[in-house]
Amino acid sequence: MLTLSHNNTIAILVREAPGSPPFTDERFCRRLSVEGPRYGLRIIVIPIPSKLTGRSLSRGYTYEQKQWRSVPLRPMALMMNRCLGPLSKNVKQQLEQYLPPGYSLRQRSWSAALPGKWEVHRTLSRCSILRKLLVPTSRAKSPIPWEIWLARWPKGLFFKPESGTHGKNTFRLSVADPPSVWCAEGRNTTNEPFHLTFQQASDVSSWLESHQAVQKMIVQPYLELSHYGRAFDIRALVQKNGQGRWTLTGCMVREGPDNSLTSNLHGGGTAYPADAYLNERYGEDLAASLLKQISHTASLIPTLLESRFGRLGELGLDFGADVHGQLWLIEVNSRPGRTSFANAEDERMHALTYTQPLAYARYLLQQHILADVSRPMKMPNSSSKAGLKRILIPGG
């Protein structure tokens, strides 16, 4: 067992949820808890309620002897925030009580968080190479000029929340048959599929405005990213390793169920190893070219985003490929799931998805480089060991 010379407790912040244990992301927390001692780290999970009114954060959970135990909170060295959505000021203040004296949560965070999809898209557009891969994107502002957009992109418009996840509240707007009818199909807040038709353009506008009033949205042309009628995308996971360097851990394909617009596993999708799936879809030569292009793109994205949004620990890069083999960069997120990698035929790749965050946490603590996590980093990286070390993936 490796040891550190100072406080070695890492807190994982997740959302409180009904059940036992009473929090989300249980598999991730359990895997890090089991592997933590190999890196000299102790893991404690802190469930964060959606509303903290009248409550205090005083207890967390540790995984011991194959079960979760409720324990009192104690001083912590580092915090890994897996919560979707921002933490309240009250929550931050309570968490900072458990950090070393004089340190803020921003200084003791494992990684910064990316903002909404629109800001990330604008930042990636600064790179000419990446700009060619980005799906044309507009911010939906009232009044939404959907008729102009639909005339420009007749195959349909794809709307998604700026800060959404798991395919929730995404939908396609298209012209139905007859042409004076419009159709909206997608997934609602609870990730259930829906299908609506509109007879009047004014009804379409009212319905879109009601969505926009609840949450900010972006719109893109609908792309045919499917295989045998099933939507699919390619998830590339890039992570920092024990030397603070970016590495491409691997790629997996996520395929949605029949008649689904998205491939998210939370919406009933299935995961497959990327090389075999793409070989079947495009043939060996084009599949190898796609994986090589993904690897190169993955080497550019992390440091570009760090130069704008601060130090990051890992990124999930979602790519699509159309019927002609054109690669598209769909989106990037800084709190990626790794459920798809459970189906990887490469057990080492699957293990790395969990152990790399621990190795990087140990690196941060040993190197004493915990400055403000949201401070933009120099290009290509503030580390003298900067760069992305490529882990070979089959067919890449």
Three-state SS annotation for 235-246: EEEEEECCCCCE
pLDDT score, position 3: 46
pLDDT score, position 367: 81
**Mean pLDDT, the chain, integer:** 88
For the stretch 108-138, pLDDT in tens is: 999 999 999 999 999 999 999 999 999 999 9
For the stretch 217-242, pLDDT in tens is: 999 999 888 877 788 999 999 999 99
pLDDT at 211 over 80: yes
Q: d(Cα 248, Cα 301) in Å, to the nearest integer?
A: 11
Phi, psi of 2 (to 5 degrees): -85, 145
* Among 102, 110, 107, 94, CA closest to 48: 94
pLDDT score, position 373: 72
Mean pLDDT for 247-269 is 76
| pTM confidence score | 0.89
* CB 291, CB 275: distance < 8 Å: yes
- List all residues 6 or more positions away from 16 whose beta carbon is below 8 Å from its beta carbon: 22, 23, 47, 48, 49, 50
- List all residues 6 or more positions away from 312 whose beta carbon is below 8 Å from its beta carbon: 111, 112, 114, 240, 302, 305, 306, 334
Helix (H, G, I), strand (E, B) or coil at 154: coil
Mean pLDDT for 15-21 is 95
pLDDT score, position 174: 92
pLDDT at 214 over 60: yes
Q: d(Cα 49, Cα 46) in Å, to the nearest integer?
A: 10
Mean pLDDT for 33-44 is 97
